[in-house]
């Protein structure tokens, strides 16, 4: 039982780490794209 649990635990940790990293990177890219778009929109609006 102990051996099986210790064998299973790293997989769960790895899966959760990858999942959190994917969610974080997706949110980061979305915020970067959003700020980039708002910067361009603001520049275009000030030019008009």
pLDDT digits (tens, 9 = 90+) for 1-48: 566 666 668 888 899 999 999 999 998 888 888 887 777 766 666 665
State how many domains the chain has. Answer: 1
pLDDT at residue 17, rounded to an integer: 93
31-44 per-residue burial string, b: 16 or more CB within 10 A, e: under 16: eeeeeeeeeeeeee
pTM: 0.45
Domain that holds residue 16: 1-48
pLDDT at residue 31, rounded to an integer: 87
DSSP one-letter code for 46 = H
Token pair recorded at residue 41? 């929109």
Cα distance between residue 37 and residue 30, in whole Å: 10
């Amino acid at each position: 039982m102990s051996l099986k649990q210790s064998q299973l635990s790293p997989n769960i940790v790895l899966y959760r780490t990858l999942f959190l990293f994917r969610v974080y990177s997706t949110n980061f890219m979305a915020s970067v794209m959003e700020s980039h778009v708002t910067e361009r929109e603001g520049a275009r609006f000030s030019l008009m």
